Amino acid sequence: MKIKLFTVIMVTFIVNSVIGQIPQAMNYQAVAHNSLGAVLQNQHVSTRFSIHDGSINAAIVYQETDTATTNEFGLFTTSIGTGTVTAGTFTGINWATGNKYLEVELDPAGGSTFTDMGTTELMSVPYALYAQTSGNGGGLSHYVGQLYGGGIIVSAWKDTTGTEHGLIASLIDLADTIQWSNITTLIGPTAEDPANGAANTLAIMNQSGATYGAAFLCHNYTGGGYTDWYLPAIWELQQCCNASVIIRQILGSTNGFQNLNYWSSTEYTNGEVWYEYFPNPYATNPTLHSRTLPATVRAVRMY
C-alpha cells in the first residue's frame, strides 16, 4: 500500500519566509497530484513534518503533524510550528549551527498512514528565524511575495554579517518562445556559474558574434525604472520556481509564472543550458536544454 501511495501522490512544495514580524512558524504550501497528473481537489490531507539536524538521515530535532484541505487546484497550506507536536519543540531548534533538513510525509486520506515524500535542505527560512534572535539584528524587512524594487520578491535572506539580501523577479515574462543565444558554440566557465546570473548574462552577451537571445532581453529590460536586470542563474531560477505558486496567486494567471520551460543563464559544459520546467524544482528534476530551442524568459535583479 505504501509503495502504491508513493507512486500515486506527488507534491511540489514551497517554504516561505513569513511576512512582517517573524513568528515561530514557517508557511508551507503544496500541490498534490495523482499519478495521471490530475490534482487532488477539495480533499482532506494529513502531513507530518520532521526537521533533521546536520544531514538528511540525522536525528530529528522537531516533528509535528498537521491537517489541511486542498482547493480546486489541489493546493493546500499549513504552517510548520503550529501543528500537533510529536517530538522536540519548534522554539528549541538551533538554527545557528548545522544544516537543517525538512522531511515531508503525506496521507492523502487525512489519516495517519504517512508516506515519505522526500527530504530537502532548508535555506532562507532558517536564516530568517535565526536573525530574529541573533546579534546581527532583527528579522527581515522584506518578504516573499512583496511588490518591491520594480518586481516581486521570490527569496529573501541575511548573510553572516546580518545584511539583508533578496531576489526580485520581473512582474511579467519577457518572452514565451526565444532561444538562449544566436551563437551555438560553448562559452565556458564564465557562463557556468550556478548562482551568479549577472556574471553569466554578461558572458553570454560578450561572446563573439552574440547579438540576440534571452540574456539580451533581460539586460535591456527596464521594468520599474531599474536597469540592472539579468537572466537568472540556475539557483536563482530555482528560487523563482519555489515561489511560483504564491507569485501566481498574487500576480494572477496571466502575469504569474506559467507551466513552461524557463531559461537559466547557466551553461553546461557540453554547450547545453540548464533550465526549469515550472513548477518542478530543479533540485529534484535537473534538466538540460539545447540553446537553439525556444523557452520562456523571466528577468531578475538583486537588492
pLDDT tier for residue 96 given thresholds of 50, 70 and 90? low
Helix (H) or strand (E) holding 7: helix 2-8
The interaxial angle of helices 234-242 and 244-255, nearest 10 deg, is: 80
For the chain, the average pLDDT equals 81
What radius of gyration do the chain's Cα atoms show? 20
Q: Give the long-range contacts of residues 88-93, CB within 8 A, separation 24 or more.
A: 88/51, 88/60, 88/61, 88/62, 88/63, 89/62, 90/24, 90/25, 90/62, 90/64, 91/24, 92/61, 92/62, 93/51, 93/53, 93/61, 93/62, 93/129
Q: Which of 117-121, 167-171, 229-233 has the lowest mean pLDDT?
A: 117-121
Query: How many DSSP H helices and E strands does the chain contain?
Result: 6, 17
Question: What's the CA gap between 210 and 291, in Å, rounded?
Answer: 13
pLDDT at residue 6 tops 50: no
pLDDT at residue 180 is higher than 50: yes
pLDDT score, position 90: 85
Per-residue confidence band for 24, with pLDDT thresholds at 50, 70 and 90? low
- Residue 93, C-alpha cell as written in the block: 531548534
Q: Which residues pair with 31 in a beta bridge?
A: 12, 75
185 touches 208 (CB < 8 A): no
Share of the chain above pLDDT 70, in %: 81
Rounded mean pLDDT of 29-40?
69
Query: Which cell goes with 241?
Result: 520556481
Amino acid at 64: E
**For residue 280, what pLDDT band results from cuts at 50, 70 and 90?**
low
Q: How far is CA 95 from CA 58, 158, 164, in A?
A: 15, 13, 17
What gap in Å lies between CA 152 and CA 143, rounded to an integer? 9
Question: Looking at the predicted structure, is the pLDDT value of residue 127 above 70?
Answer: no
How would CATH label the architecture of 2-133? Sandwich (2.60)
With bands split at pLDDT 50, 70 and 90, how would you rate the model's confidence at 65?
A: very high
Is the CB of residue 51 less than 8 Å from the CB of residue 64? no
Residue type, 58: A
Most distant pair of Cα atoms in the chain: their distance:
61
Terminal-to-terminal C-alpha distance of the chain:
48
**Mean pLDDT, range 283-291, rounded to an integer:** 63
In the chain, residues under CATH classification 2.60.40.10 are 2-133
Summarize the confidence of residues 83-105 as an average pLDDT: 85
